[in-house]
Amino acid sequence: MYGIFYKAKNYRQAFFFFLVQSLTVHLLSSYWLANFRGFAIFTLGASAFGTALEGGLCGAVSHFLPAQLNKKNLLEEDGGRHPHYVWIRIIWFSASWVMWEWMKSTGFLAYPWGTLSMAAYRWKLITQIADITGVWGVTFLFALFSALIAEGYGIMERIPRAQNNIVMAESFVSSAKTAGIFFAICLVYGIFQYVVPRTPVKTLNTVLVQQNVDPWESGDAASIAVSKKLTEQQVNLMRDIGMEPDLVLWSEGVLGYTYPSAIQFYREFPQDESLTAFIARMDIPFVIGGRTLVDHNRQLFSNSAIFFDRNGDYAGFYSKKHLVPFAERIPWAENPLMKFFMGKVVGFTSTLTPGNQYVLFKIPKSNQGNTKAALWSNLPPETTIALEPDGTINKDTASRYTENPGYNPDSYISFTTPICFEDAFSDVCSQLYRIGSEVFLNITNDSWSKEPPAEYQHFIAASYRAIEYRTTLVRCTNSGYSAIVDPSGRVIMDLPVFTETALGFKVPVYERKKTVYSMMGDWFAYLLFAFMGSVFVWSTVFFYIIEPKKTVPATEKEKTDDEREDAAGRSSENDTPPALSTEQSSAPWEDSPEETSDVEDNVFTAKGNMKSGPVHTARPKTIAVPSGKNSTGTKKRR
C-alpha cells in the first residue's frame, strides 16, 4: 500500500485505492458475518460498505502530503535539496494507517477487526508496548517497518537517476537507523515485560462452561440442559481434588426469558430440576448471559450478564454498553422510515438498549485463609481517638485498633464482565478497570458464525486487554475460543473450538498496578494526529507561501525577446554615444554583431528630464549600407 499511497495522482485515486483495500480486507477476513441470523445484508453488507467508505475517506485525507510531494519536489529531493522528505513520508504513512485503524475501531459503528495489531499477535515481544501505547503503538511499529522497506525499494530504483544519490542514500540510512533504535527500545521493553516473573496475590477457582449450543437455534432448554451437565461434572472433579469452586461462568445469551420477571419462571424451569434449584445444589455463585427488562413502560431490553448468589437467588446484572450496530441496535430505530424499512425489507424491528452503568461484582473466596483484615486496611486517612469524660477508653473506638471489623480485602475477588465483543474495545474495558476490576471475565456467543476463524479473530482482538491493563482475561464462550490469558498475553489454559466441554481452573489474580495506557488512554494515537496536523500546517505554509516566493514570476518568463531587448536598451540609454545614422561606421560597437536604427521616441535622461530624439535599438546586421538598402541592393526587410 505504501507505493500506491504515494503514487496516487490525485485525491480521487487515493480515495479509490484505500476504498478497494479496505473492502477487500474486510470481505476476506470477516466473510463469516454473513452467517448472522440471515441478516447478511447488514452484518456483512452494511459493515463492508461502512468500512470501505471510512477507508476511502481516510485515504483521501492522507493524500494531502503526497499531493504536495509532486514530481518537482521529488526531483529536488534527488538533487539533495530535501533529504528529510524520506523520514516525513515514512512517518506520515504510518500515522495515516494508525488514523485509519483508530477510525474503524472507535465510535458506534466501530469494528476493530482486520487490523495490523491483530496480525502482530504472535510477536509477543513487540506487543508488550500495548500497556503504554495501546494497540496503536503496535500498529504504528508494523506500518513503520513496512513503509521503511517500501521506501528503500523505491530509493534503489531512483538512485541511478538521482543527481545526488549519496545524499539520498544517507537520508534513507539515517531514517532506517532511527527506526531501528525505536524498534530496539520496544524490543528490550518487551523482553523485560514478557519474561519478568509475576506472582498472583489471589486465585479464583473458576468453572468455564462451553456448551457448544447456539441458543438462537435450539432455545434455552437445550443450552441449559447441556450447561447443567457440564457444570456438575466439572464441579465434582474439582471437589474430588480438594479445589472448591468460587464461581461458575456460562456464556452469553444462554437464558431466553427476561429478568427480573423470569425469576419465578426459572424457579420452576426446567421441570426435572429448576435452574434456581440447580445453582443452590451446586452451592456456588453463577454468572449467566441473558436478557433484562430495563424499562417496563417503554419495553426496553438489554443484553446482560446476570449474577446469582450461591442459593440461586437473582443478585443483579451488568448490561452490555457497546452493542453490535445493525444487529443488536438499529440506529434511528424510532424514526418511522427506519421502522418501515426494517420491518418490510429486513424483517425485524426490535433493538436492544445499551447499558447505562458499569458494574463491579465481588464474591468471597472459598479458600479465604486468614479472614481477619489487617488493622490498617479499612481505616480512614484521618481520625481522632478521644477518651470518655471520665477518662476511660471508648470501647468502639479502641476495638478498631484491636481487631479490624471490616472484611479482609484478600478474601474477596472483584471482577467485571464485558459482554461479547466489548472485550475488543479499550474504551469499555478502561472504565471497567477503573472502577476496581481485578480480572476481566468475558462471556461471548460466537456460535452463529459457524467458522473457527471468527472465534480466533475475536480472541486475538480481546487478548490485548490483558496486556494493556496487566490483568488476567478469562473468556467463557459457548463455542470458542474459551481461554485464560495472563498479563503478558500468554494463553495459560484454553478449550478447543466448537466442542462441548468445560474447564475448572485456578485463575491467577495479580496486584492492580496502573499502566500508562490505563491512565492516559489513546494518547499515542492523539500524538500522531497532532503530528499530522502540524505537517498539514507546515506543508501549507511551505508549499503555498514560502516556495512560490522563491520562483521567478511567470510574467517575466513570458516576455518576448523584443520586449527584453527594448528593456535592455532603455536601461543603457545614459551610456549610449550620440546617435549614428545607418550610413555611419559602427566602430564603437565592433565587438557587437548588431547595428542601430533610428526610432523617434521620448526617453528620460539620467537626471530625470524628458528628452526627445532618436533612440538606438538593436537590429540584426550584416554590413553598413545606404539607408533602405541591404547588401544585395534590394530593399531591407523590416
Q: Which residues are catalytic?
A: 252, 320, 420
- Rg of the chain on CA atoms, in Å: 39
How far is the C-alpha of 90 from the C-alpha of 145, rounded, in Å?
9
Where b means 16+ CB within 10 Å and e means fewer, 587-602 reads eebeeeeebbbeeeee
Q: Which amino acid appears at position 36 of this protein? A: F
Whether 408 and 443 have beta carbons less than 8 Å apart is answered as: no
Question: Where does residue 437 rank: exposed (0-12), middle (13-18), buried (19+ CB within 10 A)?
Answer: buried
Question: Would you give the DSSP letter of residue 409?
Answer: G
Handedness of CA 131, 134, 135, 140 (dihedral sign): negative
Q: Contact at 8 Å (CB) between 330 and 342?
A: yes
Residue 83, C-beta contacts closer than 8 angstroms, at least 6 positions apart = 77, 167, 168, 170, 171
- Any residues with CB less than 8 A from the CB of 540 and at least 6 apart, and which? none
Q: In what order do the strands lie in the sheet with 472-477?
A: 361-364, 412-416, 439-444, 472-477, 483-485, 491-494
CB 485 within 8 A of CB 442: no
Going through 341-416 in order, the beta strands assigned E by DSSP cover: 361-364, 412-416
| Backbone region of residue 617 per phi and psi (left: phi > 0; alpha: psi in -120 to 50; beta: other values) | beta
As to burial, measured by CB atoms within 10 angstroms (0-12 exposed, 13-18 middle, 19+ buried), residue 409 is: middle
Please check whether residue 176 is in contact with residue 87, taking contact to mean a CB–CB distance below 8 angstroms.
Answer: no
Beta bridge partners of 474: 441, 484
Helix (H) or strand (E) holding 48: helix 47-62
The torsion angles phi and psi of 401, rounded to 5 degrees, stand at -100, 10
Of 306, 300, 356, 358, the C-alpha closest to 329 is 300
Give the Cα separation of 183 and 149 in Å (integer).
Answer: 14
Angstrom distance (rounded) from CA 333 to CA 350: 8
In angstroms, the CA 368 to CA 489 distance is 28
Q: Locate 353 and state its grid cell.
A: 438498549
